[in-house]
Structure 1
Amino acid sequence: MRTMEKINGEIRNDSKTTDNSTSVTADILNPFVHRLELDTTYDKLKTAFLTVALLPFRLAAITALVIMAWLLACLGLRGLTEDDLRRAPLTGWRRRKIIPWLCFLGRLTYQAGGMRIVVRGKQASRNEAPILVVAPHSTFIDGGIVYVTGFPSIIVRRESGLNPFIGKLINFTQPVYVWREDPNSRQNTIKEIIERATSKEDWPQVMIFPEGTCTNRSCLITFKSGAFYPGVPIQPVCIKYPNKLDTVTWTWEGPGALKLLWLTLTQLNSSCEIEFLPVYKPSEAEKSDPKLYANNVRRLMARALQIPVSDYTYDDCRIISKAHQLNLKHVSTIIEAHKLRYKLGLLQANTEENLVNGRSERLNEIVDLHKFSQILRLDEKDSATKQLFHIHDWNRCGKVDLEEYIFTVLVIAKASSVEEMIRLAFELCVPTGSDSVDAKALRRILFLSLHLQPEESDRIFRDSLTIETNKVKLDDLIEVLGKRTEFAHLFATNSDESRKKSI
């Protein structure tokens, strides 16, 4: 087997080659979509039977084991305050007795659910690698690695630790808490990770999922740099779920947690493979550049997993969440378009917004690739330009609705509610800046913003009509839509959602 030093050297030397050879197709893999359906009659009948014959017993066993673990954690935390947990590592019977028992019960819980955990490689000690970097992160079931690795400290939201039940188990790992309401949360979290990783005290290893969100394991998205700021050796840890039916992947666009849990617990057996790679020792360049360090570790892990890397980030998830919130069509392509626009310089230059602001007439054209490239001032022969065009060619006819393309771009950049979407559609479809439109223009506005058909748009036009002008004013339209039963929930939901922080 090649040594880690040799692998490190290869990665550092060939990073430029790897980047240059990455295809546009690889760049726009969508790791946030997971499709899960029981396609065969056999799978449906088996799931139905096991739901009755097996699921209740597994749930009972899991519940009993989790309660036992919770009671054990309560015992171990007795007499300790939160400040005690943050000030010094656990010692004595709490560490020598309670932690091994918690790990045993945790692994037993997974076995009770039919999940077999297979471990490959050897976990390094804290002295060898103070930080464990785990990827890909694809499911809440990944939490099982905590029991395999001896209860390392995890990075977790403060709200999770306040949970009266699961919070006890979380607190026993002596986690590094992320305080989301604190504007300095990121800096404070990094500071605490550095202190833990470089401390002379016998703290647990720190375990971090550097992707920061769940993906479908089709690629490794951009690693956040928090694990790499300390500049200490880390141990990469890879997770795989080599099951015929993927019932565990929990992404932004796919089955919910309860459905995944149900389908996982109604499989006769499932497996999770955890592979400890050799310790990665950073070079001097990597110690001074956490992003370089993170990228090199990511490439190493991608090779071990035999999957590509992708420039998606945790923040891209917020765009997907926003697209769902606003009920936009073709959600799965929005991130792809966002990445391609960044690559082509459209994002930085605000090209589409400037087109709207500087136009003298409407942009309601159906354009081919040549015209599309010309309007956006792109190189028609550039593969990224072609990709951007083709993913908006919904009907595969070699044509793109320019107005619809620009509207989607503006909504992702500027809208946070349905009302704001409608106002943007007005702005786009009424170049003169008028606050009222005729029936034809309203059809287009409501198609872009609410996907309404012409006949429904015409009914709304009649309800919103101003008799004196035979046109509809924007504010009247908003008022009418908000009062209609079929649309009122959209306005209320989006108003509430816009006030929440993105996950």
Structure 2
Amino acid sequence: MKFTNRKRLSTVNGEDSHISTEMTNPFIHEVRLTPLQKLKVAVMTVSLFPVRLLFAVFMMLLAWPFTFVGTQGWSEHTVEPLSWWRWLAKLALRSLMRAMWFFAGFHWIAVKGRLAPPTEAPILTVAPHSSYFDSIPVTMTMASVVMKAESKDIPVWGTLIKFIRPVFVSRSDQDSRRKTVEEIKRRASSAGEWPQIMVFPEGTCTNRSCLISFKPGAFIPGVPVQPVVLRYRNEMDTVSWTWQGPGAFKVLWLTLCQLHNSIEIEYLPTYTPSTEEKRDPALYASNVRHIMAKALGLPITDYSFEDCRLTMVRGPLALPSHTCLLEFSRLVRLLGLKPGASDQVLEEMACRARELCGHGRSLEGVAEFLRLPVTQTLQDVFALFEEHGQMDVREFVIALSIICRPFQHLETLQLAFRMFEAEEDGCIVEHELAVILKTALGVSDLTVCDVFRATDTGNKGKITFNDFREFLESCPNFLELFCCVQKPSPTGSLGAQNHSSGPDLLPQDPNTANPAHSKKQD
């Protein structure tokens, strides 16, 4: 059986959802301009862009005095009645922010549904989260948001965000997550005294191709929430700002070069949790996500913010745009293996896999090796590697090491070599390198042959880990030189014997990561 992006049918409150699709990587976005679009952007760059940017910045600077006055005397822990002068400052700020978005090309903003009052829905959950332009509904509602504490120290911007009474998260405080949840619960239980809290439950920006897993923070208080969905209607998507794709300035530049930017905000009916959902925030979050996905007509996927680490790496062995590694990571997380896969555990699994000497294992044998029962999830994992009804558990260990240590590609390679090398000389031969590279990179036989010859400089017919490490150091872009990356096919397998496209799994050191990957995280 070969890996395939199977269509899945979701269930919402006992009813089957119509959402099913072929999954793509939600953390990658490409902007491809036609020659005509490039010409339009060139013209707008020297004409419309500087004017829009100037007026947008001017509106933000003009808003600063109102927010400065409005925040004087405010406490971060108590809420005071909105005095008349603060009410005027709030009105002025909303008007100026709307003018700023107008000059950015959002000439009209379509709004569907009704914004519930704080007493009815203390928390607003917004998705999909794909851009810093998602702050448009924040400026329209003046709802509080959850953001990192360092933001309040940014000149001008820090003063502006203080006015909406955000819930600040301190990355330097190890207990920050618990404190943030407690603060959300305190505000949500204030019977409307505090402003509504607007939460982006995905926790990171995606390309809007699906809804990834919702974090439970907004659902832990167990209070009613109002789902809010965003739609950007432009034919060319210039607003998406995710982990692989245009950087922040390029997104701003291309968006401001569009004659008009369309956004639609839809307020869905308030969702009141059941008793079971109040006890289980994960269930609450899942049910709300299904409702929002159905309204958007988007699929859902169990990919999460943690999976972004697999896509943000760069180097000679980087993850491609189409890979089943994310699917493997999702399944491993469902099996409960990922949190406990420490270096010591991986070494122990590698030793047991080596003792099998490459003998294939059946599904029951794999379950015994992993010390897990046979479940549907384990069957899905088996299907990723299976060839002729058998699975080489060494390939599983390699893939597991990759998703648990995405920045430590040399450690993963060394682990793989130890599972395959001969005891007498610590060497592997060409077909064994093929197994490793096919699991890690998805390369063809001919390419493996070329790589092996380039690594085996002494024509010994075998290589060691040190030989391959020296080859990587001398040829960091060997994937391009040896044409190792294949075009994605409708199906792919992690199994070494499959000649279809497999995943590029091994990343480079995090210091070489693209600076553009410091994307907005909530």
Quote the offset at 1:334 in angstroms: 1.4
How many angstroms apart in 2 are the aligned matches of 1:481 and 1:98? 63
Question: In structure 2, do the counterparts of structure 1 residues 262 and 392 end up closer, same or farther at CA, with 3 Å as the change threshold?
Answer: farther
How many angstroms apart in 1 are the aligned matches of 2:518 and 2:136? 28
- 1:319 is aligned to 310
Quote the offset at 1:335 in angstroms: 0.9
Which secondary structure state, in structure 2, belongs to the residue aligned with residue 307 of structure 1?
A: coil
Q: Check whether the contact 1:359–1:431 (CA below 8 A) recurs between aligned residues.
A: no
Higher relative contact order (CA 8 A, sep 6+): 2
- 1:35 is aligned to 30
Q: Check whether the contact 1:30–1:336 (CA below 8 A) recurs between aligned residues.
A: no
The one-letter amino acid of 1:133's match is: T
Question: In structure 2, do the counterparts of structure 1 residues 482 and 163 end up closer, same or farther at CA, with 3 Å as the change threshold?
Answer: farther
Aligned-residue Cα RMSD (Å) equals 4.5
Quote the offset at 1:410 in angstroms: 2.1
Question: In structure 2, do the counterparts of structure 1 residues 362 and 65 end up closer, same or farther at CA, with 3 Å as the change threshold?
Answer: farther
- 1:335 is aligned to 326
Aligned with residue 282 of structure 1, among 273, 277, 281: 273
Q: Check whether the contact 1:333–1:391 (CA below 8 A) recurs between aligned residues.
A: no
Q: Deviations over 1:85-141 (max 9, x none)?
A: 333347325530112211111111111011132112221222222211111111111
The one-letter amino acid of 2:30's match is: R
Q: Are 1:268 and 2:259 counterparts? A: yes
Quote the offset at 1:408 in angstroms: 3.0
- 1:104 is aligned to 95
How many angstroms apart in 2 are the aligned matches of 1:76 and 1:130? 23
Q: Are 1:18 and 2:10 counterparts? A: no
Q: Are 1:126 and 2:118 counterparts? A: yes
Q: Check whether the contact 1:337–1:391 (CA below 8 A) recurs between aligned residues.
A: no
Aligned with residue 59 of structure 1, among 39, 53, 59: 53
How many angstroms apart in 2 are the aligned matches of 1:71 and 1:455? 65
- 1:6 is aligned to none
Question: In structure 2, do the counterparts of structure 1 residues 326 and 133 end up closer, same or farther at CA, with 3 Å as the change threshold?
Answer: same
How many angstroms apart in 2 are the aligned matches of 1:406 and 1:288? 36
- 2:289 is aligned to 298
How many angstroms apart in 1 are the aligned matches of 2:283 and 2:289? 10
- 1:145 is aligned to 137
Q: Are 1:162 and 2:153 counterparts? A: yes
The one-letter amino acid of 1:175's match is: P
Q: Unpaired segments of 5 or more residues in structure 2?
A: 1-10, 478-505
Q: Unpaired segments of 5 or more residues in structure 1?
A: 1-12
Report how many aligned residue pairs link the two structures.
466
Q: Check whether the contact 2:151–2:158 (CA below 8 A) recurs between aligned residues.
A: yes
Question: In structure 2, do the counterparts of structure 1 residues 192 and 437 end up closer, same or farther at CA, with 3 Å as the change threshold?
Answer: same
- 1:3 is aligned to none
Quote the offset at 1:47 in angstroms: 1.8
Q: Deviations over 1:138-196 (max 9, x none)?
A: 111101111111x1111001122222232221222111011122222111101000111
Q: Check whether the contact 2:125–2:218 (CA below 8 A) recurs between aligned residues.
A: yes
The one-letter amino acid of 1:139's match is: S
How many angstroms apart in 2 are the aligned matches of 1:288 and 1:438? 53
Which secondary structure state, in structure 2, belongs to the residue aligned with residue 282 of structure 1?
A: coil
Q: Check whether the contact 1:362–1:430 (CA below 8 A) recurs between aligned residues.
A: no
Question: In structure 2, do the counterparts of structure 1 residues 79 and 42 end up closer, same or farther at CA, with 3 Å as the change threshold?
Answer: same
How many angstroms apart in 1 are the aligned matches of 2:293 and 2:119? 25
Taking structure 1 as the reference length, the TM-score comes to: 0.76
How many angstroms apart in 2 are the aligned matches of 1:328 and 1:492? 10
Question: In structure 2, do the counterparts of structure 1 residues 174 and 391 end up closer, same or farther at CA, with 3 Å as the change threshold?
Answer: farther
Question: In structure 2, do the counterparts of structure 1 residues 390 and 46 end up closer, same or farther at CA, with 3 Å as the change threshold?
Answer: farther
Identity, in percent, stands at 36
More displaced stretch, 232-241 vs 454-463: 454-463
- 2:427 is aligned to 437
Taking structure 2 as the reference length, the TM-score comes to: 0.74
Which secondary structure state, in structure 2, belongs to the residue aligned with residue 359 of structure 1?
A: helix
How many angstroms apart in 1 are the aligned matches of 2:214 and 2:456? 49
How many angstroms apart in 2 are the aligned matches of 1:447 and 1:14? 41
